[in-house]
């Protein structure tokens, strides 16, 4: 179908007439290889197209080559949008970006942290220039480059595997906020799943007596008290003695939760009963550090889901961790708890200093359970984000986890065996493999995992 620039009278028509009806089909992209209105953290893309079908779609060093396509109003000067496109490409690790206002078409390529204009033409010339565009960002062209990239990656990984092992020591990340209901467990379990998907060896520790992480990873398979197999060996047993009950004895593998599955130290409601006894044993507070030290060659990253309090178990988690993520819905009650979080971290750091451990590093406040309402995102959300650094003096993470139905669905999956229903929770990463409506959430956790790896120096 020929393209007529005169049909592009507004931004919506640039999207529909130029990109959807002409460019994407002409460049060989099928509906299963491109996505419209993609939200990734604080970034909102008009279009994202991949060289190959990806379910769920991911953006990392090993993902298929992709193209961001941004449509602007015909009256807009494209020069005013280049810096924003640069931010998209460098933040999301996307190699190519197409920018158009229906009158002009530009293609940019990412080189490390900068982008370079590699093609430009008037929209009325697009039919005569389509082969040039296909050579740059056509699906077949990207597939060929993808094959070459994969070969380069294999060679590079073979040469540097031993160096990587030496450089990437085990990192421990606590997920903590003293305000409940901010998506703490959702962040912990799905971050662990996304890190595992990226090839990291992950241990997920549940040190909250509510045991939500234990449930979410499929380890609560029993229906009756007498079938409870977690009471005898759970996270509290790690803290009772330095001589027995090591991680290798207590860890379990998640149950149909992720692909690949991850190791989990489960929790149990009985943690409440044991807290007073453990709290009186001063030597038990740093005990998790030594237990983790014994498995430092088994794992790349430890993720700890903590209780929403300042109790003994929260202390143990933060004492043993290297880094801290603070999930927050950015609402007033959660924000009002941030000064208390800072005070708690200062107290933890004082204790860490006494035992010769460096200060806990705050990766940042992670915006989670955020509404997808367009007006909220346009007017309220930016103000909420600014408050974190301006009023509370805390770093804000770039990634954003939105409040989507799929995040609840994946954790509340059930299967029926005979007359009984058994929990069958999934990570959002695995859930998105069969549920198209979960792909946005899966992508958000892929972006979060990428940011976390960058900030802890474990790419």
Condensed to tens digits (0 to 9), the pLDDT of residues 208-244 reads 999 999 999 998 876 677 677 788 889 999 999 888 8
On whether both 385 and 244 belong to a single domain, the answer is: yes
User: pLDDT of 364-379, one tens digit each?
Assistant: 999 999 999 999 999 9
Where is the domain boundary, 148, 183, 206?
148
On whether both 290 and 393 belong to a single domain, the answer is: yes
Residue 162 in any domain: the answer is no
Where is the domain boundary, 100, 118, 148?
148
Measured N-to-C along each axis, helices 184-197 and 439-455 cross at an angle, to the nearest 10 degrees, of 80
Q: Copy the structure tokens of residue 24.
A: 């994407």
Looking at residue 10, which CATH number applies to its domain? 3.90.1570
Please, is 103 exposed, middle or buried when counting C-beta atoms within 10 Å of its C-beta (0-12, 13-18, 19+)?
middle
On whether both 404 and 276 belong to a single domain, the answer is: yes
Residue 24 in any domain: the answer is yes
Q: How many domains does the chain have?
A: 2
Please, is 372 exposed, middle or buried when counting C-beta atoms within 10 Å of its C-beta (0-12, 13-18, 19+)?
exposed
Domain range holding 110? 5-148
CA pair distance 77, 443, nearest whole angstrom: 31
Residue 309 — φ and ψ, nearest 5°?
A: -160, -175
On whether both 188 and 295 belong to a single domain, the answer is: yes
On whether both 366 and 451 belong to a single domain, the answer is: yes
CA 282 to the chain's CA centroid: 36
Per DSSP, the three-state class of 183 is coil
Residue 161 in any domain: the answer is no
Residue 106 — φ and ψ, nearest 5°?
A: -125, 145
Looking at residue 391, which CATH number applies to its domain? 3.40.50.300
Report the sign of the C-alpha dihedral through residues 110, 116, 118, 120, in that order. positive
Residue 203 in any domain: the answer is yes
**pLDDT 10s per residue in the chain (459 long)?**
678 888 999 999 999 999 999 999 999 999 888 989 888 777 889 999 988 765 555 555 455 578 999 999 999 999 999 989 988 888 888 889 999 999 999 999 987 678 889 999 999 999 999 999 999 999 988 888 777 765 554 555 544 444 444 345 899 999 999 999 999 999 999 999 999 999 999 999 999 999 999 999 998 876 677 677 788 889 999 999 888 889 999 999 998 899 899 999 999 999 999 999 999 888 899 999 999 999 999 999 999 999 999 999 999 999 999 999 999 999 999 999 999 999 999 999 999 999 999 999 999 999 999 999 999 999 999 999 999 999 999 999 999 999 999 999 998 877 776 676 777 899 999 999 888 889 999 999 999 999 999 999 986
Where is the domain boundary, 148, 183, 209?
148
């Amino acid at each position: 179908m020929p393209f007529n620039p005169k049909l592009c009278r507004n931004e919506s028509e640039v999207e529909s007439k130029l990109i959807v009806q002409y460019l994407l089909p002409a460049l060989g992209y099928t509906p299963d290889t491109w996505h419209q209105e993609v939200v990734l953290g604080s970034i909102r893309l008009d279009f994202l197209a991949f060289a190959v079908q990806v379910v769920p779609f991911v953006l990392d060093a090993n993902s298929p080559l992709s193209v961001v396509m941004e449509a602007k109003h015909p009256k807009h000067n494209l020069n005013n949008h280049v810096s924003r496109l640069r931010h998209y490409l460098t933040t999301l690790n996307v190699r190519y970006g197409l920018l158009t206002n229906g009158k002009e078409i530009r293609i940019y390529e990412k080189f490390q942290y900068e982008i370079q204009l590699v093609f430009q033409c008037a929209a009325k010339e697009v039919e005569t220039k389509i082969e040039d565009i296909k050579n740059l960002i056509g699906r077949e062209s990207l597939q060929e480059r993808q094959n070459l990239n994969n070969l380069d990656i294999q060679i590079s990984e073979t040469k540097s595997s031993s160096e990587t092992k030496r450089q990437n020591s085990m990192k421990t990340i606590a997920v903590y906020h003293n305000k409940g209901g901010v998506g703490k467990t959702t962040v912990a379990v799905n971050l662990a799943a996304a890190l595992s998907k990226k090839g990291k060896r992950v241990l997920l520790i549940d040190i909250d007596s509510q045991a939500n992480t234990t449930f979410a990873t499929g380890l609560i398979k029993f229906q009756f008290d007498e079938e409870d197999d977690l009471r005898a060996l759970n996270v509290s047993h790690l803290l009772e003695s330095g001589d027995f009950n090591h991680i290798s004895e207590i860890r379990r593998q998640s149950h149909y939760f992720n692909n690949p599955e991850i190791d989990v130290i489960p929790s149990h409601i009985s943690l409440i009963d044991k807290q007073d006894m453990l709290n009186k044993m001063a030597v038990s507070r740093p005990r998790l550090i030594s237990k983790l030290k014994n498995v430092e060659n088994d794992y790349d990253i430890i993720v700890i889901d903590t209780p929403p309090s300042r109790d003994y178990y929260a202390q143990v988690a933060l004492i043993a961790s290297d880094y801290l993520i603070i999930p927050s819905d950015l609402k007033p009650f959660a924000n009002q708890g941030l000064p208390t979080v800072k005070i708690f971290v200062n107290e933890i750091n004082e204790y860490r200093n006494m035992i010769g451990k460096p200060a806990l590093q705050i990766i940042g406040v992670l915006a989670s359970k955020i509404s997808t309402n367009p007006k909220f995102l346009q007017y309220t959300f930016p103000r909420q984000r600014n408050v974190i650094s301006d009023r509370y003096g805390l770093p804000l993470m770039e990634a954003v986890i939105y409040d989507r139905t799929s995040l609840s669905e994946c954790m509340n999956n059930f299967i029926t065996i005979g007359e009984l229903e058994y929990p069958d929770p999934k990570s959002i990463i695995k859930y998105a493999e069969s549920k198209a409506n979960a792909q946005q959430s899966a992508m958000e956790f892929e972006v979060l995992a990428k940011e976390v790896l960058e900030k802890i120096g474990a790419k």
